[in-house]
Structure 1
Amino acid sequence: MNILITGIHGFVGSNLVVALKEHHVLYGLDIIAPEKEGVEKTFSWKDIESTAFPMQQLPQFDAIIHLAGKAHDTKNQSAAQAYFDINTGLTREIFDFFLESKAKKFIFFSSVKAAADSVVGDMLREDVIPTPVGPYGESKIAAENYILDKLRVAVQRDKRLYILRPCMIHGPGNKGNLNLLYNVVKKGIPWPLGDFENKRSFTSIDNLCYVVEGLLTRDIASGIYHMGDDEALSTNELIALMCEAMGKEPHIWKMNRKMMEGCAGLGTLLHLALNTERLRKLTENYVVSNEKIKSALGIEKMPVRAAEGILKTIRSFSD
């Protein structure tokens, strides 16, 4: 199978190359185009424009995986329009290219943040009415809607569309929020929010690659699929796993919950680092159901357990 992967030089793209290169012929599409082991050729975005690189001169792709996008800026320093230019604009461009190409499958990497900033109820499922908050989630749902609006056209052309909404993806080489928490734990700084027993879903890169391979090679219905590991973990469990990987004893302080909420409220008034919103983000539940994608693939469980994937990621930080 000839597969075009946008954003192929990123974290997920690089892992997909390793997972797929043995059984597929891979091509890249990115803002940079260096040679990459396992990739036949990487094109630039200008190459998909018919005026610059006629479609008949491109390889005949069987599937397109669209990863390229602007990541969630947790510091809120990015201009809102940049999200829409990249997450929505580039998706429209590559999806229109897909519709005109001979490729039969399109996998779009969206995000659970396109569905909800906070989870109402026990877990987040695909039938939720999307209520994104902020330009990242809003730009992702706009891209999703553009794809879904053209679903009928795709079906008429015998094409399949998959919108993947992963929760936080992690794995060796990922320098995201897990790395930030790891650096705090590594310094021996106690975690004072042990009285909050929250649960959060994560996505192991190994599980993600397994699902993408399944979407590419199996007869799966078009649709939206949430992606996460089977088990949700609390922040306390996450810190304990980090300490296990480092051979340290965890320092988790169960400071009185009401007192910490009061301190956060004061922090909001005084514009301190710990405020009510940050406390909510650190301690809220965000559990994502993966039952729909497992049912579609005909499996009962993901190949990698959540704790196993987290340990693999944490151990890579010290490599």
Structure 2
Amino acid sequence: MRVLLTGATGFVGRAVLGRLAASNDLEPVAAIRGHALPDCPQNVTTVRTAGLHADTDWSEALDQVAVVIHGAARVHVMNDTESDPLEAFRKVNVEGTLKLARQAASLGVRRFIFISSIKVNGEGTPVNEPYVADAPPAPADPYGVSKMEAEQGLRDIAVQTGMEVVIIRPTLVYGPGVKANFLNMMRWLDKGIPLPFGAIHNRRSLVALDNLVDLIVTCIRHPAAANQTFLVSDGEDLSTTQLLRRMGQALGKPARLLPVPSVLLERSAQLLGKRALSQRLCGSLQVDITKTRELLDWTPPVSVDNALRSTATYFLNKERQR
């Protein structure tokens, strides 16, 4: 089965491509732009495209493809410099995605797997009141709005053409090679820096890279995945305090956490203009993956602690090479 992957150079995309290449009965095609893929497996076909735009011609990349895994996107950024961020997101995440999907349907693609975002559901939940896959969406920023609009357009295309659409909304993804705040957290812990996060009682759902990739690959063939929306996590929710302690254990550097009340952290962050960071550190965001488990008979194959260990091992090896 020939499978087209977009976003193959990204954090998730590289892992998906490796899993596709390791399969005996899949023929992976990676849509790229610019330079060649580093360390690309020999059995992967690469096709250069003009990027994810409303006028991109995908016909070469889609030749004889049965399934598309669409991971390319204009990603969420903390300090967007665009004068109209929503319009910038729409051009890529909505118009570009729907052009790809329409052309895929016209060329006989059977299934289109869209890697969306939990931001379609919203930015946070009360403790123990998780998001569910089929609840009304409530995106709060331009990125989340663009992903919601892309989902809506894909569902319309599915109805019009008969191409099956599968939507996956990951929570925060971590694993070997993770960047941004998760990487900073590991660096703080590795250096033994005291952190004021010893008394945070929130709950957050995370998803290990291997677990997300396993679900994506499951959705290539599973008949019950057709025209469904799935949330995905590790199935175990952690507070920020718990995450730091268990990450410290994985690093072999016990976390030095000071029990500063979360209300003080939130107020301080607001005064410093870091409300979004405060929400991620102190607020809750939980997802209920019951539908994913039951409809697909799927269980996250990797435990949180094993995923943290593999993330820590990769990090320590890279830090030693710096």
- Does the pair score TM above 0.5? yes
Q: CA deviation at 1:26?
A: 0.6
How many residues were matched structurally?
A: 308
Structure 2: tracts of 5 or more residues without a match? 318-322
Q: Is the 1:17–1:38 contact (alpha carbons within 8 Å) kept by the matching residues of 2? A: no
Could you say which residue in structure 1 is the equivalent of 2:191? 187
Could you say which residue in structure 2 is the equivalent of 1:235? 240
Could you say which residue in structure 2 is the equivalent of 1:150? 157
Q: CA deviation at 1:262?
A: 4.9
Alpha-carbon distance in 2 for matches of 1:45, 1:37: 19
Could you say which residue in structure 1 is the equivalent of 2:169? 165
CA RMSD of aligned residues (A): 2.5
Q: CA deviation at 1:279?
A: 2.6
Give the counterpart of 1:98 among 104, 114, 118: 104
Q: CA deviation at 1:72?
A: 1.4
The secondary structure found in structure 1 opposite 2:28 is: strand
- Cα gap change, 1:263/1:33 in structure 2, threshold over 3 Å: closer, same or farther? closer
Per mean C-alpha deviation after superposition, the further-off stretch among 36-45 and 144-153 is: 36-45
**Deviations 1:115-167 (Å, cap 9, x if unpaired)?**
21122561011122111111111111111111112221233xxx311011001
Name the TM-score, length of structure 2 as normaliser. 0.87
Q: Is the 2:32–2:46 contact (alpha carbons within 8 Å) kept by the matching residues of 1? A: yes
Alpha-carbon distance in 2 for matches of 1:53, 1:263: 49
**Deviations 1:172-213 (Å, cap 9, x if unpaired)?**
122232102112222222221322211111111111121122
Report the AA paired with residue 153 of structure 1: Q
Could you say which residue in structure 2 is the equivalent of 1:286? 285
Q: Is the 1:66–1:109 contact (alpha carbons within 8 Å) kept by the matching residues of 2? A: yes
Alpha-carbon distance in 2 for matches of 1:96, 1:290: 30
State, as a whole percentage, how many aligned pairs show the same letter: 25
Could you say which residue in structure 2 is the equivalent of 1:304? 302
Alpha-carbon distance in 2 for matches of 1:162, 1:39: 26
Q: Is the 1:226–1:290 contact (alpha carbons within 8 Å) kept by the matching residues of 2? A: yes
The secondary structure found in structure 2 opposite 1:60 is: coil
Report the AA paired with residue 144 of structure 2: G
Per mean C-alpha deviation after superposition, the further-off stretch among 307-316 and 108-117 is: 307-316
The correspondence of residues 1-319 of structure 1 with structure 2, limited to 5 A, is: 1-21=1-21, 22-23=23-24, 24-32=26-34, 34=36, 36-46=40-50, 55=59, 59-77=63-81, 80=85, 81-120=87-126, 122-155=129-162, 159-220=163-224, 221-264=226-269, 268=271, 272=272, 278-299=277-298, 301-319=299-317
Q: CA deviation at 1:63?
A: 0.4
Q: CA deviation at 1:306?
A: 2.0
Q: Is the 1:47–1:53 contact (alpha carbons within 8 Å) kept by the matching residues of 2? A: no
Structure 1: tracts of 5 or more residues without a match? none
Q: Is the 1:4–1:28 contact (alpha carbons within 8 Å) kept by the matching residues of 2? A: yes
Alpha-carbon distance in 1 for matches of 2:51, 2:279: 44
Q: CA deviation at 1:276?
A: 5.1
